[in-house]
Amino acid sequence: MIEAIGRALLFDIDGTLANTDPLHLKAFNQVLGPRGYVFDHERFSRELQGFANISIGERFLPDETPARRAEILDEKEEVFRTLVAGQIEPLPGLMALLDRADSAGIPMVAVTNAPRLNAELLLSGLGITHRFKALVIGAELPHGKPHPLPYQKGLRFVGASAAASIAFEDSRTGVQSATAAGIPTIGVRTSLSHADLVGAGAIASASAFDDPQLLAHLASAMTW
């Protein structure tokens, strides 16, 4: 199959490919709770979800050195990886969508603010690492989400046009990043409401990848 030059599907990982946000919330509370920060779902979605660890450290650990902030948040990621091991399930319809994109020759890219170890663990746990032409890690770039650079990088990896591609995101920062890169973005409602996602810039939202409205939109936009 010859790849469809100019088109691509770009996916966030956490909360988009799999609903891992409840485990991130638990890990943050375990590590930051003793330091005076306790998060419920609403506060998590507003202040933590989709943000890179460096910005989380600057906000919630201002009295620590940058090196110590990194150590503390590395501990949080270790807690998360322990919690998520063996519990990774794809969102409904994901595998069928990936199959369809592969059959149509549409390249796929994963774009995340998560640390590389987390991203690789989740893709491996879902058995889909091989599906993606590239894995873009925001923390390895000069700017992570909500800056457009991670998605711009993803487009460049596969030679795709922003306007002809589609991104899938579950967080405000992620939607802002993808839309700032010029990519029509569909919000996935694992944590946020339709209003929240559209308010951040998404063109539509879906409950999962088997949502009939999402499938209809993809059939029209991707012409497969």
Phi first, then psi, for residue 146 (nearest 5°) are -85, 5
Give the pLDDT band (50/70/90) at residue 95: very high
- Rounded to an integer, what distance in angstroms lies between the CA atom of residue 170 and that of residue 50? 8
Quick one: CA dihedral 55, 56, 59, 63, positive or negative?
negative
pLDDT for res 4: 44
**Options 14, 21, 170, 196, the catalytic residue:** 14
Catalytic residue among 12, 21, 170, 211: 12
Model pLDDT, residue 2:
41
Q: 5-45, pLDDT tens digit by residue?
A: 599 999 999 999 999 989 999 999 999 999 999 999 999 98
| Percent helix / strand / coil, the chain, rounded to 5 | 50, 10, 40
Does 14 qualify as catalytic in the annotation? yes
Cα–Cα separations (whole angstroms), residue 125 to 47, 118, 120: 27, 10, 8
pLDDT digits (tens, 9 = 90+) for 109-157: 999 999 999 999 999 999 999 999 999 999 999 999 999 999 999 999 9
Is the per-residue pLDDT at 183 higher than 50? Answer: yes
For the question of residue 196 being annotated catalytic, the response is no
Cut 0.75: pTM above it: yes
H-helix or E-strand spanning residue 58:
helix 53-60
